[in-house]
Structure formats: C-alpha cells, structure tokens
C-alpha cells in the first residue's frame, strides 16, 4: 500500500493521459477569463494602491512629516496575487475531493485495496484459448457456437484467463469460412499493471504463431482480421 501511495499515480497517468483530448473552445474561454480577471484585478489594485498613496500624501501635508515616495503598483504583484487565488481554489477543490473520496471509502463494504495484477498475460490467454478450441475438433459454425457456450463455464474461464474477471477481458477466435478455429486474440479492458498495454495474438498460420503486440496496434489488428473474428469474451 505504501508503494502504491508513493508511485501508484505514475501508472494512473500513463493510463489516463493518452485518453485525454483537448477541448480548444473551453481552453480558449479559460484563457480569455484568466486574461480578463488579471486585467480587472490589476486595474483595481493599481487604483487602490494609488488612492492609498494619495491619502498618505494628504496626511503628510497635515502632519508636515515627509515619507518615502510610493512605488508604482507592478504587474508582477498582480500576477503573484492571481497565482495565490487560483492555487487556493485548486487546493480547496482537492481537499473537497479527498474528503468525499475518504468518506465514500469509509462507508463502503469493499476492501480499501485490491491487487489484480496477476493472471495470465494476453499472449498466454490467446494461446490457451486457441489450444482449448482446437482440441474440440470443430468443423462447422454450429459446432463452433456449441463449443463457445460450453467453454464459458467458470472452471474453464478460470484456467484460460487466471485470476482476471471475465468482464475485464476481450477475446476473439480467428475462424475461417468453414468454422475451423486457427487462432485467437485477447487483451484486457481494465487497467491491470504491465499486461494492460499488451495484446495477445495467436495465429497458427504464421511463424511465430504467438505474438505480443502493443495496445496502440489494436485498430490495425482488428482491421486485419475483421472477416475472421468470432467473439468469445
């Protein structure tokens, strides 16, 4: 748990940042608002600073005691105050989020931390799925449908995907027109450490048959085998 608290956010950023897309309309609006807030606050602070300086000069005339010349209000002072305001705003939002999340975790009956980084790699999953279906000697589409239904038992899935929930895996059989299975594709849909970024491909017609590919190649793989894909998980 200490390890996760210290550097667990690195894996979170690696998973989330590629999924973030920029909304330039909102970014432009935010920049305009920031510029307007800065200009307005600078004008107000400069006016107030000048008014206070004039008030001090009036008091000097009354008391006949000269004071140091007032330094003009500087833009960097306005910038520093703006940064403090926005930093306070972000700290407040973060504090509310921490309190909300801590309260939700305290009220939940689920364990605080669950480690699900074990299990077979996608490459091993694809291999095991292919071997399992090949042993069934499937020869037509009807036999393929029956075999898929039989394979989706808890014991069989535990062996094929090993300690990974079935709804966190996508797996496809590679099937020819006659219904014969000649390969499989498997990958995880939920972040699970080192295996999340991998795609397991097993194609018995190629050498080597087993491949581990990067997640970014998934669209290319799906297009390549689009006419042979048969959903399993």
pLDDT in tens, 202-213: 998 888 888 888
Residues of the chain with pLDDT under 70: 61-70, 109-119, 154, 192-194
Task: For residue 154, give the nearest of 142, 168, 165, 141 by alpha carbon.
Answer: 165
Give the whole-angstrom CA distance, residue 49 versus residue 111: 56
pTM of the complete model: 0.49
CB atoms within 10 A of CB 200: 26
pLDDT in tens, 82-103: 999 999 999 999 999 989 888 8
Question: In this structure, what token pair is assigned to residue 101?
Answer: 């999340």
Quick one: pLDDT at residue 111? Answer: 62
Give the whole-angstrom CA distance, residue 93 versus residue 101: 12
Question: How distant, in Å, are the alpha carbons of 48, 62, 67, 187 from that of 59?
Answer: 17, 5, 10, 78
Quick one: pLDDT at residue 208? Answer: 84
Task: For residue 198, give the nearest of 208, 184, 211, 180 by alpha carbon.
Answer: 211
Quick one: pLDDT at residue 121? Answer: 84
């Amino acid at each position: 748990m200490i390890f996760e608290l210290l550097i667990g956010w690195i894996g979170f950023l690696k998973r989330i940042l590629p999924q973030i897309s920029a909304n330039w309309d909102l970014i432009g609006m935010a920049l305009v608002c920031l510029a307007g807030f800065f200009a307005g606050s600078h004008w107000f602070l400069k006016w107030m600073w000048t008014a206070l300086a004039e008030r001090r000069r009036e008091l000097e005339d009354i008391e006949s005691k000269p004071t140091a010349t007032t330094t003009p209000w500087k833009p960097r002072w306005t910038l520093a105050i703006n940064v403090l305001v926005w930093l306070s705003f972000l700290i407040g939002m973060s504090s509310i989020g921490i309190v909300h999340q801590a309260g939700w975790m305290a009220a939940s009956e689920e364990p605080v931390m669950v480690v699900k980084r074990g299990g077979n790699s996608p490459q091993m999953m694809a291999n095991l799925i292919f071997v399992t279906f090949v042993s069934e000697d499937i020869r037509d589409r009807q036999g393929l449908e029956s075999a898929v239904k039989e394979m989706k038992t808890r014991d069989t899935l535990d062996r094929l995907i090993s300690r990974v929930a079935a709804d966190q895996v996508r797996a496809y059989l590679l099937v020819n027109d006659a219904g014969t299975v000649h390969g499989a594709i498997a990958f995880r849909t939920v972040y699970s450490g080192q295996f999340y970024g991998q795609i397991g491909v097993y194609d018995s017609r190629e050498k080597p048959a087993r491949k581990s590919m990067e997640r970014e190649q998934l669209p290319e793989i799906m297009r390549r085998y689009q006419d042979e894909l048969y959903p399993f998980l």
